[in-house]
Amino acid sequence: MQAALCTRYGAPDTVRIVDLPTPTPQANEVLIRIHASTVASGDWRLRSGTMPRGFGLISRLVFGLRRLRQPILGTEFSGTITATGPGVTRFQPGDAVVGFAGTTMRCHAEYRVMKEDAALALKPANLSDAQAAALCFGGTTALHYLRDKAHVRPGHSVLILGGAGAVGSAAVQIAKHLGAVVSTTSSAANLELLRSLGADHTLDYRTQDFTHDGPRYDVIMDTVGASTFGQTCKALRPGGLYLAIAADLPGMLAGLRQGPQGQRQLTGPAPERPADVAWLVDLAAQGHYLPVIDRSYPLAQIAEAHARVETGHKRGNVVVTMPHTD
């Protein structure tokens, strides 16, 4: 099978296409022929070794000091089950699936094995392979923060900074589904997209400052590291929550103390749970969550996909398609 290999930290062209043996499913595992995956912001961070300030060393200790311990990146996919190992009961060959491998990665390849009880679900029929491949990375993060950390409920006023990214575009749709009144920021070019995803109010971050004389929010979710807890307290209601999903270490430390009116900061990595993927798949099947696709690249052009992600201005998700889908 073909796979994209990234053995050292570096520029997009450090990723190269190689031939590797196709894996064989063991007990309770399924073999998936991957149709599409994404190059997510996490893949760009790992490939380039670019981490939020203060997290460089710990990331190298976890993912590899001088070279990536797991050289095949890619956290999510859509595909078809082609074989099952002994004991598998949940899936059968021919099932179209979506999956989230998260930090175990290895989705930038034509085939991957997964445990049948991993974050794997039947693909919603209304999504294309590209849309299904982009369901999990942004979606699980947004879901964890909005539903599980902030407990967003109908009538809550939620501001999402960076609504046009992978996490942001999922967050706008999930916050809306949870019943919030949703405001969000992006550059002017993406405001119409955000309205089409259900945002009630949109702000161009280049010309409008949400901390000045605007409404106050119950929840502010910063998906791009565009603000600090200190700045956002001015725009948070008493007791409001600041969700800092892209915080650096100084930002995390600054949020350890409450704000002047009891505002709090929540941060940290989102968990990778099969139940969350099932929740997102249901939402997508009901037509309430549609992953946004920026561009699709064939696997052979994955370096270009990495370069696009590295601009920091992709719209939603960058997809890579496998050779057999060309």
Ligand X SMILES: NC(=O)c1ccc[n+]([C@@H]2O[C@H](COP(=O)([O-])OP(=O)(O)OC[C@H]3O[C@@H](n4cnc5c(N)ncnc54)[C@H](OP(=O)(O)O)[C@@H]3O)[C@@H](O)[C@H]2O)c1
Q: Under the rule (CB under 6 A), what is the footprint of ligand X?
A: 40-42, 45, 138, 141, 161-162, 164-168, 185-187, 190, 205, 223-224, 226, 245-246, 269-270, 309, 312-315
CB of 265 to ligand X, least distance (A): 13
Q: Please state, in angstroms and rounded to a whole number, the distance separating the CA atoms of residues 128 and 72.
A: 24
Closer of 223 and 321 to ligand X (Cβ): 223
Closer of 88 and 194 to ligand X (Cβ): 194
Residue nearest to ligand X (CB): 165
CB of 207 to ligand X, least distance (A): 12
Q: How many other C-beta atoms can be found within 10 angstroms of the C-beta atom of residue 153?
A: 11
Closer of 6 and 31 to ligand X (Cβ): 6
76 pairs with which residues across the strands? 100
Closer of 84 and 184 to ligand X (Cβ): 184
Q: Please state, in angstroms and rounded to a whole number, the distance separating the CA atoms of residues 285 and 278.
A: 10
CB of 87 to ligand X, least distance (A): 32
Q: How many other C-beta atoms can be found within 10 angstroms of the C-beta atom of residue 65?
A: 9
Q: How many other C-beta atoms can be found within 10 angstroms of the C-beta atom of residue 152?
A: 27
Closer of 118 and 292 to ligand X (Cβ): 292
CB of 15 to ligand X, least distance (A): 17
Q: Which two tokens stand for residue 132?
A: 């299904």
Q: Please state, in angstroms and rounded to a whole number, the distance separating the CA atoms of residues 107 and 148.
A: 27
Identify the CA nearest to 80 among candidates 114, 105, 103.
Answer: 114
CB of 20 to ligand X, least distance (A): 27
87 contacts: CB under 8 Å, gap ≥ 6: 27, 28
Fill in the DSSP letter of residue 292.
-
Amino acid letter at 321? Answer: T
Closer of 111 and 137 to ligand X (Cβ): 137
Burial class of 27 by CB neighbour count within 10 A (0 to 12, 13 to 18, 19+):
exposed
Closer of 45 and 295 to ligand X (Cβ): 45
CB of 168 to ligand X, least distance (A): 6
- Please report where in the chains the tokens 């971050």 appear, as a residue: 205
Sheet of strand 217-222: strand arrangement:
201-204, 181-186, 157-161, 217-222, 236-244, 264-267
Closer of 190 and 321 to ligand X (Cβ): 190
CB of 23 to ligand X, least distance (A): 26
H helix runs in 95-237, sequence order: 129-133, 137-143, 166-177, 191-196, 229-233
CB of 252 to ligand X, least distance (A): 11
